[in-house]
Amino acid sequence: MNRTAISLLVVDALLLVAEFYVIMDLQWRTAYAATVRDVCPQACRYTPSFSYNVLTQYFTMSGNGVNLTSPITLDWVQVITLVLIVINGWFAYSTLKKRRDDRAVGAPATAPPTVR
């Protein structure tokens, strides 16, 4: 494996870990909003949900005849996924272009071992 492939694997691993924590945060927010509070166990029941658009999201809680909506925010799951796609696509494009250029020049893809 060459140095570029190793750095790509490291970047992918870091981005996937970041995406995991973003998803865990969203699950925590939804679970927290759905829990019943001690103050008003019957009256304070909300149904939380997320609504998604392209790269944006907003959080809504409905219950007790009230709809609470958060401001539109950036959806980090979509952003990180887009970054992963762009980085891996660029790596694939660069690798294929390098191989094509090596064939056009006539240079071998890998140098043969020299014997002394």
Q: How confident is the model at residue 110 (pLDDT cuts 50, 70, 90)?
A: low
**Mean pLDDT value across residues 11-20:** 95
Q: How far apart are CA 77 and CA 27, in angstroms?
A: 12
- Decide if 52 is inside a domain: yes
- Decide if 34 is inside a domain: yes
Q: What is the pLDDT of residues 68-83, one digit of tens each?
A: 888 888 999 999 999 9
- Decide if 78 is inside a domain: yes
**Lookup: tokens for 19:** 């995406």
Q: How confident is the model at residue 111 (pLDDT cuts 50, 70, 90)?
A: low
Q: Which domain holds residue 45?
A: 3-104
- Decide if 112 is inside a domain: no
> Across all residues in the chain, what is the average pLDDT?
84
Please give the model's pTM, rounded to 2 decimal places: 0.71
Look at the chain and report how many structural domains it folds into.
Answer: 1
Q: What are residue 110's phi and psi, to 5 degrees?
A: -130, 140
- Decide if 49 is inside a domain: yes
In one-letter notation, the amino acid at residue 103 is: R
pLDDT of residue 105: 78
Q: What is the pLDDT of residues 28-64, one digit of tens each?
A: 888 887 777 666 666 667 788 888 888 899 888 887 7
- Decide if 113 is inside a domain: no
pLDDT of residue 21: 95
Let me know: does 44 contact 64? Beta carbons within 8 Å: yes
- Decide if 64 is inside a domain: yes
pLDDT of residue 112: 66
